[in-house]
Chains A and B, each alone.
Chain A
Amino acid sequence: MAAENQCNCVQTQEEDLYPRLNEIIGEHKGKPEDLIMVLHKAQNLFGYLPKKVQEMVAEGLNMSINEVYGVITFYNFFSTVPQGKHSVKVCLGTACYVRGSQKVLEKTEKALGIKVGGTTDDRRYSLGVVRCIGACGLAPAMLVDEDVYGRVKTTNAMEIIEKYE
């Protein structure tokens, strides 16, 4: 997610985003084939895809909500729970895994007090895993927002994460 869209997860601000969502949906009205594109844009806007957004998208693209929900849950990229201000993703690709990324992940889960897919109570961080991002030469790799960190260790993962306030 682009950095400029990251503070939009607070409830009161969410209401203000619906007119913009309506515009986006309007550009794709009645076109179910554009669903993934619309979801990308909607998630960019809200930071996640709440139920009301799903309903509006379904209605606008002329499809059932369960089809929309089915697509959202199929792809890794989409989330139905609010995301933290910063997204932390640990690469579990083969090269990273072999070099201990699973341990980095476990340590991070413990330190943040959340599981993969969760968001901290203060909505500062969301934790996830990512498929191979091609940083195998620097395994294990971790993504914080758009920044890639290589050769992450259990000892310095939190240090990196805490730089993001």
Chain B
Amino acid sequence: MNRVRNHVLISIDAGTIMAGARAVEKALTEEIVRQGLSDEITVLETGSIGATGQGVIIVVYPEGVYYGNVTVQDIPQLVEEHLLKGRLVKRLLLSELPKQHVVTKEKTGLLKEQPRIVLRNSGIIDPENIDEYIAREGYEAIGKAFSLKPEGVIEEIKKSGLIGRGGAGFPTAMKWGFAHNAPGDQKYIICNADEGEPGTFKDRLILEGDPHKLIEGMIIAGYAIGATKGFIYIRGEYSLSIERLEKAIAQARQYELLGDNILESGFSFDLSVMKGAGAYVCGEETALIESLEGKRGHPRLKPPFPAIAGLWHKPTVVNNVETLANIPEIIWRGATWYRGYGTEKCPGTKVYTIIGNVATPGIIEAEMGTTLRDIIYEYAGGIKEGKKFKCALVGGAAGAFLGPDMLDVQMDFANLKEYAAVLGSGAILVMDEDADIVDMLQSVLHFFKHESCGHCVPCRLGTAQLVKVIDRIAASKGIKEDIEKLSNISDVMRDTSFCPLGQSLCLPISSALKYFHDEVYARIPL
């Protein structure tokens, strides 16, 4: 066997594909062959390395050198200089600090000090190769879970204090416990990968970067609650995720990690991928279940909760991608280890997508309890062009605007609740001093009007009315009472809507008015 001298990783995700990663990959492979280096150098595809807007990204190991904005034209030079002669191509180095020569992972601002649990393998392994996952202790947790028995698994998750990462902030072990104890011969585990919250793409990057982690998490979840069948409900638009997931499932079946009598444990489990058809409301778990049953995605009346009567009225657990991706690490390393990260009430980490007017937008994983200030200034390089921070919309469109007074609040599910804010999906949209709050609100409200499913009156009519009012204000044709109207309508919707879609609209509205009442008021002609 030949000795491989360098591993060249090329980040293949939706963002880099857009920048031409496939063509660069082809050119790179061909150039390596042409230079006669194919025995010494291996090119591997990997998921996102966490930076966006930096074009095609290539990482060369063992040096750990990051190159950004690489084009097909750069390849001959890159191969000749770096891979053949061992000299860095400085002009392509990915760096937030232009003076630095070598940008290692530790020195790339974006990846600094990130404790990685969920994204541990993302951007490091080839997501299409099960052996690479296994080499990183993958699928070890399954064996341990089988030795703990279902009750022991639930107990361990309970001790870890894991809170569901989907947005509602419900303790995972409790959900599992309900389903485990519910009577029923058939139970189901569903992974909610219908990521639709504007500004959120963390689940997509997990699925693209490390699909086996999700599969392992689902096997363990299925074992704990007694489900033999799992579904991954995924957005139809996520074609690369779907492709990688299906490949990963096929590999897991081949290794007999899915199927009958897994690892001779007597436990049988299999997975199917179900493509969603584009409806925001299907992120709500009962609407998702309806959709999975082939119907319109209307939310169901609760109780009964899905853990008692879910899919086909059987006990069902619906968990978010990120929640399930935490499971193998918790089981393998133990609850005590997990509690070493994050806060007392919310242990572990949170994956955030940070976008808007920041220097380096992208995906990060930070400990629970990290402040908004640290996320913006430490991880994302601060506000673009040295401008002033105005506010951040945290938690997606159904989240709250946080002003400068919230910069130093420890962010986790429990703590933000006390400030009438939510962590939600982990989307952070940062706005600088030039951003227009009316414009933002208009976008959010139009989105909700479009996505309101029409099932209940308060949400269907409320969103339509809110859009009328905000359009009027935006066109500088509003009247004084309009501001009050925004609050009133959203308050009524909070109290009377059928599901969280209508209920949560009061958050962006009340928080925007709390900070920027005068700015909105200024748009109203005297």
Residues of A that sit less than 8 Å from B by CB:
32-37, 39-40, 67, 70-71, 74-78, 92-95, 97-98, 130-139, 146-150
Residues of A within 8 A of B53 (CB): 137-138, 150
Q: Knowing A32-B294, A94-B443, say if A131 contacts B355 (CB, 8 Å).
A: no
Interface contact B239-A77, CB-CB below 8 Å: no
Contact present for A138 and B18 (CB under 8 Å): yes
Q: Bound complex: CA of A150 vs CA of B355, how far in Å?
A: 14
Determine whether B353 belongs to the interface, using a CB cutoff of 8 Å to chain A. yes
Given contacts A98-B440, A134-B201, A137-B52, whether A77 and B278 have CB atoms under 8 Å apart is yes
> Contact check: which of A34, A93, A130, A150 meets B199 at CB < 8 Å?
A93
Instruction: Give the interface centre of A34, A98, A136 by most chain B CB atoms within 10 Å.
Output: A136
B15 & A131 in contact (Cβ 8 Å cutoff): no
Q: Are B447 and A92 in contact (CB under 8 A)?
A: yes
Cβ-defined contact, A71 with B295, below 8 A: yes
A95: B residues at CB distance < 8 A: 198-199, 355-356, 429
A39/B196 in contact, CB under 8 A: no
Q: A132-B197, A136-B201 are in contact. Are A77 and B277 (CB under 8 A)?
A: yes
* Contact across chains for A135 and B198 when beta carbons are under 8 A apart: no
Task: Answer whether residue B408 sits at the interface, using C-beta atoms and an 8 A cutoff.
Answer: no
Among A34, A94, A134, A139, the one with the most B-chain Cβ atoms within 10 Å of its Cβ is A134
Check A136–B236 contact: CB distance below 8 A. Answer: no
Within 8 A of A (CB), among B190-247: 195-201, 204, 236-237, 239
Interface residues of B in 346-396 (CB under 8 A from A): 353, 355-356, 361-362, 393
A134 adjacent to B200 (CB under 8 Å)? yes
B443 with A97: CB separation less than 8 A: yes
* Contacts A130-B237, A134-B200, A149-B18; A76 near B277 (Cβ below 8 A): yes
Q: What residue in chain A is nearest B240 (Cβ atoms)?
A: A146
C-alpha spacing A76/B15, complex, angstroms: 23
Chain B residues positioned under 8 Å from A75 (CB to CB): 276-279, 297
Task: List the B side residues contacting A39 at CB < 8 Å.
Answer: 277
Asked whether B439 is an interface residue with its Cβ less than 8 Å from the other chain, the reply is yes
Binding site for A on B (CB under 8 A): 14-15, 17-18, 52-53, 195-201, 204, 236-237, 239, 274-280, 291, 293-297, 353, 355-356, 361-362, 393, 397, 429, 431, 435, 439-440, 442-444, 446-447, 451, 453
User: Which listed residue, B15, B199, B204, B356, touches A138 by the CB 8 Å rule?
Assistant: B15
Q: What CA separation (Å) do A148 and B17 show in the bound complex?
A: 8
The answer to whether B239 and A146 have CB atoms under 8 Å apart is yes
**Pairs across A and B, CB under 8 Å, 9 listed:** A36-B277, A39-B277, A77-B277, A94-B443, A95-B355, A98-B431, A131-B447, A132-B200, A146-B239
Whole-angstrom distance between the Cβ of A36 and the nearest chain B Cβ: 5
The answer to whether B199 touches A40 (Cβ under 8 A) is no
Q: Which residues of B contact A150 (CB under 8 A)?
A: 18, 53
- Which 7 A-B pairs give the minimum distances between C-beta atoms? A134-B201, A137-B52, A76-B278, A75-B277, A35-B294, A97-B443, A136-B355
Q: Are B274 and A37 in contact (CB under 8 A)?
A: yes
B236 touching A71 by the CB < 8 A rule? no
Question: Which B residues lie within 8 Å of A139 (CB)?
Answer: 355
> Inside 8 A of A137's CB, which chain B residues have their CB?
15, 52-53, 355, 361-362
- Is the Cβ of B440 less than 8 Å from the Cβ of A74? no
Q: Which residues of A contact B442 (CB under 8 A)?
A: 97
A44 to chain B, nearest CB (A): 11
Chain A residues, CB < 8 A from B453:
74
In the complex, which residues of chain B have a beta carbon less than 8 angstroms from the beta carbon of A134?
14, 195, 200-201, 204, 353
Closest to A36 in B: B294
A74 to B452, CA, bound (A): 11
CA distance A146 to B18 in the complex (A): 10
Known: A75-B277, A136-B52, A148-B14. 5 other contacts (CB 8 A): A35-B294, A40-B275, A94-B393, A94-B429, A132-B199
With A37-B274, A71-B294, A131-B280 in contact, do A94 and B397 touch (Cβ < 8 Å)?
yes
